[in-house]
Amino acid sequence: MRNKLFKITLIFLPLLFSFYITKAQTNFSEKADEYLKKGIQLAQEGEIDAAILKGDSAINFVTEAILQEGRTPALLAKLAEINWKLKGVFLTEVNQGKVYRNMVFGVKKGADFLSEATLVGFIDCMVSYQKNAKALDDNNLWECYWLVNNRLSNLDIANADSLIQNIDKKLFTVLDNSCEGITNRYKQESEGGVYYSDTQIKEIEKYYENSDCEDYTFLYNTKKVLYEKNPNAESALGILKMALLSKNNQYLKEAKKLSEKYMNEDSEISQKLRLEVARYNILTGNKKEGRDLAETLKGTNYQKEAFTLIGDLYFNSFMDIVSNKYSECQNLSVYSLAYEMYQIANNMTGMKKCKAKFPTKNMIFMENRTENEKVRFSGWVNRTTILRIK
């Protein structure tokens, strides 16, 4: 009998010991939550010193839980939450390094357990720490940024995009986003050309979104890498938009050639490609070709942009269209052509600026003409409009 009791004790003693250890771990974690809640309440009441003390106690309890249970993602995340809510919100030059170090493990290992407020707060803390201590290199900064960015992107919240724009702005206050800075970070030379990882591609795009640099070499190479990895209409559009931004003739020619492969597909991306190729044609002086392509977008989601583009083309081409064989009233009817395009685009601003250019009643009277008289323009325009008055 005694032997049986001894064997039963041997079986259940580890289970009992495990139960008490788990209970102790739970108690440590619960105590941390309790002190965090009290600290937040004190902070809201303006009792800053008392709130910070509660934060210290909460951190101690989480530390005890970590010693017992190990560095689990959930506990590291809790440590980060406490540090931000009761330390980071009172960030100073003295404590920012410690707050950053206590938070960084939570972000790296437990980002999935963190709230958006703590994630954005961590970037605040990291940027503040870097400005004062210069202790982190660009790789450290980008690693932490992408952890936060990816978590925010996956959260089901309405303001995720605005939060990401917010952390972008903060990050680039401590990064060199000059042309030279971008070149120094990403220049890689090899016999086969320049290669970038998927993360580097995203980083380069971020640099240009947050930079005044007009040397688009690295961005162009980035877009080409994306296209080579996945040749489709969307990646071709990325190259074309970048080429238009750069106004580089070589980039523009290459981008147009790629884009033309996808322009006739039945998709919204293909419609967008037609719009951007129309811009390219106009930019490079092929006004008729650009106008004709833009006109094919009538009735699509890009009608407004396309016909605003044509309206702008006519409005800005006055000196190119007018002729000595026309009277002054007829020449001013160029703006009537532009008006009609803005009208299709429902662009009230464009229509208003055209009206200001129309001939007056007195001008029509002096030329012995009538309102709504047809006026035809030849050459690349090859269109008919009517004589409108102010």
Mean pLDDT value across residues 198-202? 82
43 compared with 175, residue with greater pLDDT: 175
Greater confidence, 142 or 100?
142
| C-alpha span between 331 and 322 (Å, rounded) | 5
pLDDT, tens digit (0-9, with 9 covering 90-100), for 341-387 = 999 999 999 999 999 999 999 999 999 999 999 999 999 999 999 99
Range with the largest mean pLDDT of 12-26, 62-76, 209-223, 259-273: 259-273
Look at residue 13 in the predicted model and tell me its pLDDT. Answer: 41
Q: Does the structure show a pLDDT above 90 at 65?
A: no
Query: 91 falls in which pLDDT band (50, 70, 90)?
Result: low
Query: How crowded is residue 70: how many other Cβ atoms within 10 Å of its Cβ?
Result: 10
Exposed, middle or buried, 202 (CB in 10 Å: 0-12/13-18/19+)? middle
Which run of H or of E encompasses 376?
A: strand 374-377
Helix axes 334-344, 303-316, angle to 10 degrees: 170
Band (89; pLDDT cuts 50, 70, 90): low
Residue 26 has pLDDT above 80, yes or no: no
CB count within 10 Å of CB 320 equals 13
What's the confidence (pLDDT) of residue 1? 47
Which CA distances in Å does 215 have to 58, 176, 179, 245, 294? 51, 15, 6, 10, 29
Find out whether 334 and 314 touch, Cβ atoms under 8 Å: yes
Average pLDDT, the chain: 85
116-133 vs 73-86: helix crossing angle, rounded to 10: 70
Between 112 and 63, name the one with better pLDDT. 112
pLDDT of residue 39: 76
pLDDT band at 37 (very low <50, low <70, confident <90, very high): confident
51: pLDDT confidence band, cut at 50, 70 and 90? confident
Contacts 24+ apart (CB under 8 A), 316-322: 317/287, 320/287, 321/377, 321/379, 321/381
pTM of the entire structure? Answer: 0.62
pLDDT category of residue 82 using cuts at 50, 70 and 90: confident
Determine the pLDDT at residue 289.
96
For the cut 80, the answer to whether the pLDDT of residue 224 exceeds it is yes
More confident of the two residues 31 and 145: 145
